Structure 1
Amino acid sequence: MSGIKLTIAKLRKEKGITQSQLAEYLGISFQSVSKWENGTTMPDINLLPKLSEYFQVSVDQILGIKPLSNREYRSRKTDSGEHWDDKLDYLKKSRIGFWNNDYLEFLVSKVWKIIEPIDIIDFGCGYGYLGMVLLPILPKGSTYTGVDISDTLLEEAKSIFKYSKYVTKFIKSDVKDFNVHEKYDMAICQAFLRHLTKPKDTLKKMVDSVIAGGMVVCIEVNRELENAGLYIKGTKYNPANKTTIMKKLWKTELESEGRDYFIGMKIPFYMQEYGLRNIDVRLNDKVNFINPYSDKYLVEAFMKSNNWNKKLSDDHKENIIKLFMNRGLSRAEAEVYVESEEVIRKYFIENYDNVFAIKAFGLLISYGVK
Structure 2
Amino acid sequence: MYIIGGGKIICFEPHWISNMASYLLDGEKQSEFIQLGVLQKLFESDTQRNGKDGNIGMKIPIYLSELGVKNIECRVSDKVNFLDSNMHHNDKNDLYQSLKEEGIAGDPGDKQQFVERLIARGLTYDNALAQYEAELRFFNIFHVYSSFVYAPNMKITFGDIVC
TM-score, scaled relative to structure 1 = 0.40
Aligned partner of 1:234 in structure 2 is 27
**Structure 1 stretches of 5 or more lacking a match?**
1-179, 181-208
Structure 2 residues not aligned, in runs of 5+:
none
1:367 CA drift (Å): 0.6
Equivalent residue letter for 1:211: I
Q: Is the Cα contact below 8 Å between 1:230 and 1:239 reproduced in 2?
A: no
C-alpha displacement at 1:312, in angstroms? Answer: 5.0
User: Percent same amino acid at aligned positions?
Assistant: 27
Shift in CA distance, 228/248, structure 1 to aligned 2, threshold 3 Å: same
Task: Name the structure 2 match of 1:218.
Answer: 11
Aligned AA (1:355): S
- Equivalent position of 2:155 in the other structure: 364
**Alignment match, 1:300:** 97
How far apart are residue 348 of structure 1 and its match? 2.2
**Deviation (angstroms), 1:307:** 4.9
Deviation at 1:320, TM superposition (A): 2.3
Partner of 2:78: 285
Normalised by the length of structure 2, the TM-score is: 0.86
Separation of aligned partners in 2, 1:251 and 1:269: 18
Q: Matches of 2:121 and 2:67 in 1, distance apart?
A: 32
Over aligned residues, Cα RMSD in angstroms? 2.1
Task: Tell me if structure 2 keeps the 8 A contact 1:254–1:260.
Answer: yes
Q: Is the 8 A contact 1:308 1:345 kept in 2?
A: yes
Give how far 1:319 is off. Answer: 2.3
Residues 344, 274 of structure 1: CA spacing in aligned structure 2 closer, same or farther, 3 A cutoff? Answer: same
Indicate the residue corresponding to 2:120 in structure 1: 326
Deviation at 1:254, TM superposition (A): 2.0
- What is the number of equivalent residue pairs in this alignment? 157
| Residue-by-residue CA offset, 1:291-346 (whole Å, 9 max, x unaligned) | 1206121111112312536x5543xx332221210121112111111111111111
Spell out the pairing of 1:333-352 with structure 2 (5 A cutoff). 333-349=127-143, 352=144
Greater RCO, CA 8 A, separation 6+: 2
User: 1:303 is aligned with what amino acid?
Assistant: K
Give the Cα separation in 2 of the matches to 1:277 and 1:239: 43
How do residues 1-370 of structure 1 correspond to structure 2 at under 5 angstroms? 180=1, 209-238=2-31, 242-292=35-85, 293=87, 295=91, 296-308=93-105, 311=107, 313-314=109-110, 317-349=111-143, 352=144, 354-370=145-161
Of structures 1 and 2, the larger Rg is shown by 1
Q: Is the 8 A contact 1:228 1:240 kept in 2?
A: no
After TM superposition, where is structure 1 displaced by more than 6 Å over at least 4 residues in a row? none
